[in-house]
Amino acid sequence: MPLSDREKRLLDEMEAALLTEDPRLVSALSAVPVSPARNRIMLGAGLVLLGLATLFGGLVSKVTPIGILGFLIALSGVISVISSFTPRSGQKASKKPRSRSSISDRMEKRWDSRGQKD
């Protein structure tokens, strides 16, 4: 049994009220979580820049161990950036995008399937 027009209107009003009262809650419940890959890319880019600065500092001062240390820092930054683009072994390589539906659509589907369980 589908929702009546009055029930749909009330549900839409409740959804709008929730959106105005607590938009962070609504965005947290309905948004796709942000991946930590962006943080790894920024960290990797910072390590590359730090490594290159250390490498050139070692070249200018003619101290080989400092240059080698700079190279290793830059290399770890590049590895960090590359690993943030490739999926990990526990993750699926390709995810199918989920279709986003409104709260009222999901509740209506639940209401309809409630009577079909018997």
| Confidence at residue 8, expressed as pLDDT on a 0 to 100 scale | 87
User: How would DSSP label each residue in 45-109?
Assistant: HHHHHHHHHHHHHHHHHT-HHHHHHHHHHHHHHHHHHHHHHSPPTTS-S--PPPPP--HHHHHHH
Tokens of 88: 């990990």
Global pTM?
0.47
Average pLDDT rounded to a whole number, residues 96-114? 76
**Which one is predicted more confidently, 6 or 116?**
6
- List CB contacts of 83: < 8 A, sequence separation 6 or more: 40
- Locate the domains of the chain by residue range: 1-33, 35-86
| Confidence at residue 12, expressed as pLDDT on a 0 to 100 scale | 85
pLDDT in tens, 68-80: 999 999 999 999 8
Question: Contact at 8 Å (CB) between 55 and 47?
Answer: no
User: What residue type is 10 in one-letter code?
Assistant: L
Confidence band of 3 (pLDDT split at 50, 70, 90): confident
Sign of CA dihedral 43, 81, 66, 55: negative
Give, for 111, the enclosing helix (H) or strand (E): helix 103-114
| Confidence at residue 11, expressed as pLDDT on a 0 to 100 scale | 85
User: What residue type is 74 in one-letter code?
Assistant: A
